[in-house]
Chain A
Amino acid sequence: MVRPVNKKERQLPFLLLGPALLLMALIVAYPLLQALRLSLFQVSLLKPDAAQFVGMDNYRSLLKDPLFLRSVLNSVMWILGSVSLQFTVGMLGALILNKDFPGRGLVRGLSLIPWATSGVLVALMWTWMLDGNYGVLNDILVKLNIIGQYQPWLAMPTSLGGVIAANVWQGAPFFAVMLLAAIQGVPLELYEAAYIDGANKFNQFWRITVPLIMPTIMITTMLRIIWTANYMDLVLVMTGGGPGQASITLPVLAYITAYERLRVGQGTAMAVLQALMLMVALSLYLKLLQGKEEGGFII
């Protein structure tokens, strides 16, 4: 027989969760609400007391601003390019690291170095590697006769590609390690059974490995999309958004608007819009992948 729960016992969970909830309210909810409020004001950091309520004006002016639209487009390319290439390189890395070869432990450890390197350091390293006057990439490509003369990779309208390359180098180990852990969790009997049934290596990978590590793929990709969307260190240090507007992404533009142009309200409105766009994109992404999983992705 179930004993009726008394009032004190009903309050207990709230009491236990209270400190955590209070902390969340302070460090998550308050800044979030404050950002929403700020985006409705015209405010300069130099004159915080002279803030003016402007309603939705900050949002309206953004939607008409070609630079904002350009930065959204660049952000989409930055996220899609970075995450898809990081995933591909990471998956290849995970499959290689899953094989048995001498010194595997050492290679697994070393492969994490890019992930552990600070963003600004990665940016500086890649800036020099891609340098138009004496960068090592130019040197190699000229010696291999792939290009005729040195190219200013970061001073061309395609500079975002150079920054994406640096991001792929830095971010791929995260995918490699997470996917490797997931792959190692797949029971070997499944591969044996598939082998007996006549499945080749590709079919084993596509029909067994991928479906079973799908939850890991989903969560890591989602995390990387969020991190990459907010990640501005590489762009800021390597190109500053240039040349011109060629590589400006949303967080970089929001930073410049708030701290260089001193329009904090407008900068915050950009951040709010980015959060909204990210929420919509991620909901669609999750729905798509969950649908696939339920629709027979797992054999």
Chain B
Amino acid sequence: MKRKAVVLVLALLLINTAFAYGATTVKYLLWLDDPTDRTVHDLVDKFNALHPDINVVMETVPLSNYYDQLLMAISAGAGPDAARFKDWWLGAFHDADLLEDLSPYLEDWPGRDDVIDELWSTGMIPGVDGVYMMPHQFITFYMYYRADWFKEAGLQPPKTFADFLAAAKALTNPAENRYGFGLRGGSGGQDQWLAFMVAGGARIVDEQGNIVINSPKAVEVNQWYIDLFKQHKVAPPSAPTDAYPQVTGAFQAGNTAMMAHHVGSSVMMTQALGREKVGVLPIPSADPAKPATMGTMSGNVVFSTSDVKGAAFKFISWLSETEAMDKWSKSRQGQLPVLKSVAGQEFYVDNEFFKVSIEGGNYAVVWPPLPGVGYVSAYVWQNTMQRALLGEITSKQMLDEIAAALKEAN
């Protein structure tokens, strides 16, 4: 009996090796928001088991080094076949002819109609035919507020910019080190800023693709945002350099009454403060008839340099099918599912944080895929916003610098 079992195991190993030897290897690069989560490893194992002719080898890189490492690998000619990708990197990579157009592959993909229609545009480039990124995990910015403080102060959750400012003022008390709004002027603050900019009626590009981020309207909304710190002082004095840990830390420690973020932090917030103290609402807008927020897609791409594009597409499209998507979205690093069949499930509809986020998807504005977006997000926005908050440059000067950097070709 024992002998038979050993022979069986050896035979299975041999078959497995034979398959792996003959299988097409797909190198897949990705970042994980929670590196201790095993969900993606399990998904890759499952895909490999279901597709004996393909062997996906995944490599994880922390998000903070991801862009650099991807660039270095591609520059050295050792890039992956497929990779997890952010929508605002598309412009620079497409500009360098590094992305494969997925349209021909999508014609035969059965999941095509299940993807929420509006979200296809996050993988497209204005003025260019084709789809360059498979939509996968989506986020939209919303606002957390301290429900208990609002109740105590007899305030209603704000729907407009005017209500928002009034509530922020009412809840600010520097003597107690308490402020109305956790403005993020440091690293990564551009997404929160864009949410308020578009909610105020400003846009980065117009319908023709012209850069209008320094238009009079945008200058006005940006001034309003700067004044939250500079004039009204409803944000902590540390706001110019506050990044994610500081903003979330201040909200959890009871230093701020409101902060903007997305569903990715909802579990952490409710665990830290208790569900009853954490309220969630859409980003207030200047005109309640025109709600808007910032959205961003993390999808998957296939590189034009890959020799195994078909197999690579098979894997990334499988990740965007119902079962894999549901698993990923429910994991500790889950964001919004992009499939109608998943987003309609009770789990997402009944959860207030998911509900507000998914609603935001109806009017979310994404960073346009311009070649300069990566540079603006990584440096120019933070540099100019901090100078504007400290009064070194005006709202107009800040937006002129951002507009110039967006136009900058690589």
Contact = CB atoms under 8 A, between A and B. Distances in A.
Interface of A: 44-48, 131-134, 149-152, 154-155, 157, 159, 239-245, 256, 259-262
Contacts of A132: 236-238, 242
Contacts of A241: 383
B268 interface: no
Contacts of A256: 378-379
A155 B98 contact: no
A242 B74 contact: no
Given A244-B387, A262-B410, A155 B240 contact: yes
Given A243-B387, A244-B392, A45 B378 contact: no
Interface residues of B, number: 43
Contacts of B186: 240, 242
Contacts of A47: 96, 410
B386 A260 contact: no
8 contacts: A131-B246, A134-B249, A152-B239, A152-B240, A155-B237, A243-B386, A243-B387, A245-B383
Given A133-B246, A242-B383, A261 B375 contact: yes
B100 to A, nearest CB: 15
Nearest to A263: B410
Nearest to A239: B241
Contacts of A259: 67-68, 71
Contacts of B68: 259
- Shortest 9 CB-CB contacts between residues of A and residues of B: A132-B238, A152-B238, A244-B387, A243-B386, A46-B96, A260-B378, A155-B241, A155-B240, A152-B237
B383 to A, nearest CB: 6
B253 interface: yes
B136 to A, nearest CB: 23
Interface centre among B95, B98, B240, B387 (most CB of A within 10 A): B240
Q: Chain B binding site: helix, strand, loop or mixed by DSSP?
A: helix
B246 A45 contact: no
Contacts of B375: 260-262
B177 A133 contact: yes
B318 interface: no
B72 A244 contact: no
Interface string B332-344: 0000000000000
B222 to A, nearest CB: 16
Nearest to A149: B174
Nearest to B67: A259
A256 B238 CA distance: 23
Contacts of B150: none
A245 B186 CA distance: 13
Contacts of B74: 45-46
B18 interface: no
B348 interface: no
Interface string B47-86: 0000000000000000000011001101100000000000
Contacts of A44: 96, 410
A154 B241 contact: yes
Contacts of B374: 260, 262
Contacts of B175: 149
Contact of B92 (A46, A150, A155, A245): A46
Nearest to A245: B383
